[in-house]
Chain A
Amino acid sequence: MSRFLVDRDGETRVRLSEGMELTKTQSVLAVVGLVVLFAVPDITRLTGLSFQAIHRGILFGLAAVGLNLLLRHTELVSFGHAAFFGVGAYGAAVLASHFEVSSGLLLLLGGVLAATTIAVLIGYFVSGYLDIYFALLTLAFNQVLYAFVLQSGYFNYSDGLSVRPDGLNPPTLFGLQWTSTGYDLILYYFTVVVLVGSLLVMWKLVNSPFGRALDAIGQDRTRARFVGIPVEKYVWIAFVISGIYGGLAGGLFALLQLHVSPDPTLYAFVSGEILFMAILGGFGTLVGPVVGGVVLVYLLIQAPFYVEYYNAVTGLVLIGVVLFLPEGILGSVPKIGTGLARRRRDPGLLRDDIAAIGSSIRRGVTRAVTTVRIIVFGVN
Chain B
Amino acid sequence: MTTGLTDAMETGGIDRRTLLKTVGGSALAVALAGCTELLEGEDDPLADADVPDEPVESGLQTFTEGAPSVLGVQARYGAETAVRRINENDGIAGRQMNLDVVEESDAYLTNYQQFVDDGKDVTFGPISSSGHAEMVPEIEAQEVINVSTDGTVTTLYEEDFPDVTYSFRFQNHDVMEALAAVEQAVEVLGADSIDTYAGINPNYAFGQDEMELFSAGIEQLTGAEEVYSGFPDLGTGDMSTHITEVNSEAPDVVFSSCWGGDATLLLEQGHANDMFDAIDVLVGPVLYGSANDLSEDLVRGPIYSGSRNFYWGEPSTDRWSPAADLVDEVQSEYGVVPTAHFMSGYGAVTAWATAAEKAVRLLGRWPEQEELAMVLENHGFFTPAGYHTIGADHQGYSNAHFGELTWSDEHDAAALANVNVFAAKNVSPPPGEISADWIGSW
Contact A304/B234 with A157-B204, A168-B137, A257-B109 known, Cβ cut-off 8 Å: no
A157 adjacent to B113 (CB under 8 Å): no
A-B CB proximity, top 3 nearest: A159-B130, A180-B141, A259-B134
B106 adjacent to A159 (CB under 8 Å): no
Cα–Cα, bound, A156→B205 (Å): 8
B114 adjacent to A263 (CB under 8 Å): no
B134 adjacent to A160 (CB under 8 Å): yes
Chain A residues 1 to 52 lying within 8 A of chain B, measured CB to CB, are 48, 50-52
Give 1 or 0 for each of A261-275: 1 = CB within 8 Å of chain B CB: 101100000000000
B138 adjacent to A258 (CB under 8 Å): yes
Nearest chain B CB to A106 CB, angstrom units: 20
Contact A264/B142 with A50-B117, A52-B113 known, Cβ cut-off 8 Å: no
Question: Is B107 positioned at the interface, with any CB of A under 8 Å from its CB?
Answer: yes
Cα–Cα, bound, A264→B104 (Å): 13
Interface size on A, residues (CB 8 A): 28
B110 adjacent to A301 (CB under 8 Å): yes
With beta carbons under 8 angstroms apart, the residue of A51, A159, A180, A304 that contacts B205 is A159
B113 adjacent to A160 (CB under 8 Å): no
Residue numbers in A under 8 Å from B292 (CB-CB)? none
Question: Is A174 positioned at the interface, with any CB of B under 8 Å from its CB?
Answer: no
With beta carbons under 8 angstroms apart, the residue of B137, B203, B205 that contacts A258 is B137
Residue numbers in A under 8 Å from B203 (CB-CB)? 157
A164 adjacent to B137 (CB under 8 Å): yes
Question: Is B103 positioned at the interface, with any CB of A under 8 Å from its CB?
Answer: yes
B234 adjacent to A52 (CB under 8 Å): no
Chain A residues 220 to 276 lying within 8 A of chain B, measured CB to CB, are 257-259, 261, 263-264
User: B129, B134, B138 — which one has the most chain A CB atoms within 10 A of its CB?
Assistant: B134
- Shortest Cβ distance from A260 into B: residue: B134
With beta carbons under 8 angstroms apart, the residue of B107, B113, B133, B140 that contacts A50 is B113
Question: Is B221 positioned at the interface, with any CB of A under 8 Å from its CB?
Answer: no
A158 adjacent to B114 (CB under 8 Å): no
Nearest chain B CB to A180 CB, angstrom units: 4
Nearest chain B CB to A61 CB, angstrom units: 16
Residues of B within 8 A of A (CB): 100, 102-103, 105-107, 109-111, 113-114, 117-118, 129-130, 133-134, 137-138, 140-142, 160-161, 203-205, 234
B105 adjacent to A304 (CB under 8 Å): yes
With beta carbons under 8 angstroms apart, the residue of B114, B117, B130 that contacts A160 is B130
- Shortest Cβ distance from B104 into A: residue: A304
Question: Is A72 positioned at the interface, with any CB of B under 8 Å from its CB?
Answer: no
A310 adjacent to B103 (CB under 8 Å): yes
Residue numbers in B under 8 Å from A156 (CB-CB)? 205
Nearest chain A CB to B279 CB, angstrom units: 27
Nearest chain A CB to B208 CB, angstrom units: 9
Chain A residues 301 to 334 lying within 8 A of chain B, measured CB to CB, are 301-302, 304-305, 310
A52 adjacent to B106 (CB under 8 Å): no
Question: Is A196 positioned at the interface, with any CB of B under 8 Å from its CB?
Answer: no
With beta carbons under 8 angstroms apart, the residue of A50, A53, A261, A304 that contacts B103 is A304
With beta carbons under 8 angstroms apart, the residue of A50, A157, A168, A263 that contacts B106 is A263
Chain A residues 47 to 67 lying within 8 A of chain B, measured CB to CB, are 48, 50-53, 56
Contact A158/B109 with A168-B161, A259-B134 known, Cβ cut-off 8 Å: no
Question: Is A339 positioned at the interface, with any CB of B under 8 Å from its CB?
Answer: no
Nearest chain B CB to A65 CB, angstrom units: 22
B130 adjacent to A158 (CB under 8 Å): yes
- Shortest Cβ distance from A301 into B: residue: B110
Residue numbers in A under 8 Å from B161 (CB-CB)? 167-168
Nearest chain A CB to B394 CB, angstrom units: 14
B109 adjacent to A259 (CB under 8 Å): yes
Residue numbers in B under 8 Å from A258 (CB-CB)? 137-138
- Shortest Cβ distance from A302 into B: residue: B114
Cα–Cα, bound, A41→B20 (Å): 49
Cα–Cα, bound, A168→B133 (Å): 11
B106 adjacent to A261 (CB under 8 Å): yes
Nearest chain A CB to B163 CB, angstrom units: 9
